[in-house]
Amino acid sequence: MEDMDIQALQKQVRKAKRIASERAAELHDLVEERLPAAYEEIPEIAKACYEACYEWAQVNGQLQELEALQASDS
């Protein structure tokens, strides 16, 4: 694979990590500032956080595989 592929995947990983961090911050804010009154928001915010972290893990795994493949080709 080309360096452009790795660079594009690195960009996706950074974006996915940023989004996951934002969702985690939303969950943290809910716990720290709005519970127990806003308990009904837990499932929605937790699901969004989980999905964002899952997306990051998928893209990051692809990047690691690609980097390992490139390293073995060298």
In terms of pTM, does the model score above 0.75?
A: yes
Tokens matching residue 50: 């989980």
What mean pLDDT value characterizes the chain? 95
Tell me how far apart the alpha carbons of residues 27 and 5 are, in angstroms, rounded to a whole number: 33
Q: Tell me whether residue 42 is exposed, middle or buried, using C-beta atoms within 10 angstroms of its C-beta: 0 to 12, 13 to 18, 19 or more.
A: middle
Q: Using pLDDT thresholds of 50, 70 and 90, give the confidence band for residue 2.
A: low
**Mean pLDDT, range 20-24, rounded to an integer:** 98
Cα of 7 vs its chain's centroid, Å: 17
Residue 4's pLDDT is what?
Answer: 78
**Architecture in CATH of 11-73:** Orthogonal Bundle (1.10)
**Mean pLDDT, range 12-39, rounded to an integer:** 98
pLDDT at 74 over 90: no
Give domain limits for the chain. Answer: 11-73
